[in-house]
Amino acid sequence: MTKTYVVSGCGMKFDAALWPVPPGVEIHFYFQCMRVPQFYKTRTILDKLMLDVGMFPDRVALPGDMIPSHFVWAHPAEQPPSGAFRRQTGNLAMDLADTDASRPVSLSHVVKTLAADRSRSATAIHWIVREEEAPDDLSGLDCQYPPRVRNGVADDGEESHHVPLSVRQPLSVVLPVAAEPVPLARIGLGPVQEWPGVRRRANTR
């Protein structure tokens, strides 16, 4: 089964720097929605954050997809909460304290840290991050590398019993297209070269 985490904070993405989603990981991206749907209950921290931040499911990146570099830092206020949380219990899994737009945490680091030592099971990350405009150059960023929080709290077992999209069996009833997660495109990305923490698309012009 899958361990599921929710990442909350402010952030940005850098389209020119690409990196591949590693095996056993899927990343759920969200978009800002002006019209908030009605929820009867908020069962998990994911439900609560979707309402607090006003962001709702957009697309899913699966293993092997090349995606832009994303960065996150803490919200300027205490609410909504910032950090990486276990979806089922809400326990903090990664602290974003002392981070800001110039001292962010990369999504690649979040993935590497939360998915470490989990070769037998999958990891799902819900990226509930309010995006801001990215700078033209990332060389001035002082990226932070917070460790996984292990406070001796009880393990969450199999989390939300989420089955990763990459291993799901086809449904007997075909769902409407709008209800299906849309994997990121894998074509037309061109050759890449190494860049700290991510891969940067090479200039082929």
Q: Which amino acid is at 108?
A: S
Report field, pTM of the whole predicted structure over 0.85 = no
Q: How confident is the model at residue 183 (pLDDT cuts 50, 70, 90)?
A: very low
Share of the chain above pLDDT 70, in %: 67
> What CA–CA distance (Å, rounded) separates 2 from 162?
6
In this prediction, residue 193 carries a pLDDT of: 35
Would residue 123 be called left, alpha or beta, if left means φ above 0 and alpha means ψ between -120 and 50 degrees? Answer: beta
Nearest in space to 184 (alpha carbons), one of 33, 54, 19, 49: 19
Highest mean pLDDT among 31-35, 149-153, 188-192: 31-35
Judged against a pLDDT cut of 60, whether residue 119 lies above it is answered with yes
In this prediction, residue 184 carries a pLDDT of: 44
Higher-pLDDT residue of 156, 139: 139
> What CA–CA distance (Å, rounded) separates 76 from 89?
24
Six-digit token pair at 106? 């990369």
Higher-pLDDT residue of 42, 100: 100
Locate the domains of the chain by residue range: 2-151+169-201
> What CA–CA distance (Å, rounded) separates 154 from 163?
22
Judged against a pLDDT cut of 60, whether residue 43 lies above it is answered with yes
Judged against a pLDDT cut of 80, whether residue 135 lies above it is answered with no
Q: Where are the beta strands (DSSP E) in the chain?
A: 2-20, 25-32, 55-61, 66-73, 83-86, 92-94, 105-106, 122-131, 192-195, 198-201
Report the chain's mean pLDDT, rounded to a whole number: 75
Share of the chain above pLDDT 90, in %: 41
Six-digit token pair at 129? 């991050």
* Terminal CA-CA length for the chain: 44
Segment 150-154 long-range contacts (CB within 8 Å, at least 24 positions apart): 151/91, 151/92, 153/89, 153/91
Sign (positive or negative) of CA dihedral 164, 169, 1, 55:
positive
In this prediction, residue 1 carries a pLDDT of: 74
Q: How confident is the model at residue 118 (pLDDT cuts 50, 70, 90)?
A: low
* 85 backbone dihedrals φ, ψ, rounded to 5°: -125, 150
Judged against a pLDDT cut of 60, whether residue 122 lies above it is answered with yes
